[in-house]
Amino acid sequence: MATGGRVLGDFKFKFFSSLNQGRGLRTGDVFELSGDHGTGKSEIFLNMVAEALIPKYYQDYILGGKEIGVVFISTNYKFDLLRLVEILEHKLFVRLSSEGEELKVNDDESIITLRDAEVPITSKSPPISFKEPSINRELIKNCLKKLYVLNCDSIHSLTLTVIFLKQFLLGSPHIELILIDHALTTEHVRDEVSPIDPMKWLELLVDYSRQYAIGIITEPETPISNSEINKYTYHIRKTRSAPNGSVFTLSSVNFNQSWDFTVNNDGIAFGSN
């Protein structure tokens, strides 16, 4: 695994806290999420996208976002833009409408409150209202400018897309995160006729992974296997039902740890474990 990349922080997700001696996700890391349909994998990706797009500052406010560009490759044409906007609106509303708190800025530019709040928010400026339409539109629009969604429906188109990315990324230095939902594997190419090696896109990811943080969603029965790609692997399963929705457990293969989380209208909420 690459060790010299820029620290991107934990994206407010506990399962990244064990990475890189506790410093969280960094460029050069590859992580894989696997699980059955409906276990919150895409929801985790959308929350990551939101945190990546949110700016570090807005006027006199510290929002604590990553303010980086994101490439999101969808292989099922189901990227939910409306859901992403909903998550963005909630995160921005919370951070812009809270009362100011003392903040600490870490060496890696991540921001936490002195009482180590789960959501780091604002400077000491008086709170402003995110309900103002102009603020809403301006912030959301600026966030979405840094998002690039690419759709693929076959191994052939996925491979061509990943090949195209090389030149695109060279001209887009602000991009630091690449997410693939869902990764097509050799199981998908039995009926495909293509002159391109069906797993060529994986070879290209080896090169990309040295400069970008990469996340890949796969099916539990078809994990990504490539000896040249060192990755963090997480499995998700539904564990029980609760009054406010289902509870899911995310387990780390690398660190033998697990975390419970729920999905609500505002995004992902992790338990105390």
From residue 10, alpha-carbon distances to 41, 104, 126 in Å are: 17, 16, 28
Q: Report the pLDDT value the prediction gives residue 158, as an integer from 0 to 100.
A: 85
Q: pLDDT in tens for each of the 273 residues of the chain?
A: 334 477 787 777 878 887 877 878 888 888 989 988 889 999 999 999 999 999 998 887 888 899 999 999 998 888 999 999 999 998 888 888 764 443 433 434 434 443 343 444 344 444 555 555 556 788 899 999 999 999 988 888 888 888 888 888 888 889 999 999 876 655 555 545 555 665 677 778 777 877 888 888 776 656 666 656 668 889 999 998 877 778 999 999 888 899 999 998 888 888 866
State the DSSP code for 32. E
pTM: 0.81
Superfamily of domain 7-270: P-loop containing nucleotide triphosphate hydrolases (3.40.50.300)
In this prediction, residue 215 carries a pLDDT of 87
Please state, as a whole number, how many other Cβ atoms lie within 10 Å of the Cβ of residue 172: 14
pLDDT of residue 196: 60
Q: What residues pair up with 58 in beta bridges, in sequence order? A: 61
In this prediction, residue 20 carries a pLDDT of: 76
Structure tokens at 198: 């069906």
Please give the C-alpha separations between residue 51 and each of 12, 55, 190, 192, 229, in angstroms, as whole numbers: 8, 8, 37, 37, 25
Domain spans of the chain, in order of start: 7-270
pLDDT at 114: 32
Q: Which residue has the tokens 């990811």?
A: 205
The reported pLDDT for the residue numbered 47 is 93
